[in-house]
Amino acid sequence: MTSPSRLNFFDCNCALGPYRTRVFRFARTAHALIEEMDFSNIERALVYHTAMRYDHPQVGNEQVLTEITGQSRLLPTWAVLPSQTGEQPDVKTLLREMQRHGIGALRLFPDDHRYFVDEITWGDQLAVYAERRIPLFVRANLDKIAQLLRSFPNLVIVTGSQGSNPLDRYAWPLIEKYPNLIFETSGYVVDNGIEEFCRRYSASRLVFGSGYPENSSGAAMLALTHAEIPLAERQAIAGDNLHRLLQEANLE
């Protein structure tokens, strides 16, 4: 049995800022989030600001940069919107700004921001992100993930939390067809779920996410720490896979 202290956790899915839904507690500031990470023994986190989801991406994108200034353990992500409404810069400008601010991944919140996930809506942006292997963290059910991948099969997509129920019948066909589809582990505490996933598709297709503050960080950490897989695979999921995905992104 491996203790959490032996794994170097790099969280792909956590937020700072005030939360609009009922949660046990949230981190209003970057300092508060660091305290939560210290409590849970999480080394680094790829974060978003709740304003990106509940207010407007442009507001939240600016806030996350401001909030985490000087916090080397927190890496920022941005949320994006369809281009047609003119609410964000064009793709070329966006890429330049991402490079300038060290943004290595993007997020989509289709249900919160009310848009379709298809080629009509995203044709001008997602083909570019796919070519550059920019990870796209999508908070949506797997039916919308499937729709997105049918239009853009080469996208590097990391799913948001899919809950604690078995995913086999939904997920296995998608995993087998789309090699750049990655699952994150927040909320997925199914008995033997991680083990079976690794046996079928390898640990390289999983990344650790806490889902904080909607989920307690400890649940996802416990599931991974006690998974009956080799230590090297645990560490790959805990942090190495996410690091690799960010390194593979081309922003130049």
Residue 16: CATH number of its domain: 3.20.20.140
38 inside domain: yes
Measured distance CA(186)–CA(32) in Å, rounded? 20
Percentage of the chain lying above the pLDDT 90 cut: 79
Residue 72 CA: distances (Å) to CA of 31, 32, 68, 76, 241? 12, 14, 8, 10, 19
3-state secondary structure the chain: CCCHHHCCCEEEEEEECCCCCCCCCCCCCHHHHHHHHHHHCCCEEEEEEHHHHHCCHHHHHHHHHHHCCCCCCEEECEECCCHHHCCCCCHHHHHHHHHHHCCCCEEECHHHHCCCCCHHHHHHHHHHHHHCCCCEEECCCHHHHHHHHHHCCCCCEEECCCCCCCCHHHHHHHHHHCCCEEEECCCCCCCCHHHHHHHHHCHHHEECCCCECCCCHHHHHHHHHCCCCCHHHHHHHHHHHHHHHHHHCCCC
Is position 1 within any domain?
no
pLDDT at 108: 97
Does residue 39 belong to any structural domain of this protein? yes
pLDDT value of residue 53? 94
Least confident of 11-20, 44-53, 175-184, 197-206: 11-20
Give domain status of residue 168, yes or no. yes
Q: Considering its fold, how many domains does the chain have in total?
A: 1
Which of the two residues, 86 and 166, has the higher pLDDT score? 86
pLDDT one-digit tens code per residue, 151-186: 999 999 999 766 666 678 888 899 999 999 999 988
CB 138 within 8 A of CB 126: no
Q: Tell me, yes or no, whether 174 lies in a domain.
A: yes
Between 240 and 169, whose confidence is greater? 240
Does position 95 have pLDDT exceeding 70, yes or no? yes
Average of pLDDT values for 117-141?
A: 96
pLDDT at 129 over 90: yes
> In the predicted model, what is the mean pLDDT of residues 73-98?
96
Confidence at 1, pLDDT banded by 50, 70, 90? very low
User: By residue range, what is the domain housing residue 76?
Assistant: 7-248
**Interval 102-114: pLDDT, tens:** 999 999 999 999 9
Going by C-alpha positions, the residue among 36, 5, 8 that lies closest to residue 211 is 36
Mean pLDDT of 131-146: 95
* Integer Cα distance of 106 and 60 in angstroms: 12
Q: Is the pLDDT of residue 117 over 50?
A: yes
Does residue 2 lie in a domain region? no
pLDDT band at 96 (very low <50, low <70, confident <90, very high): very high
34-81 residue pLDDT tens: 999 999 999 999 999 999 999 999 999 999 999 999 999 999 999 999
Locus of tokens 């009956």: 228
> What average pLDDT does the chain have?
92
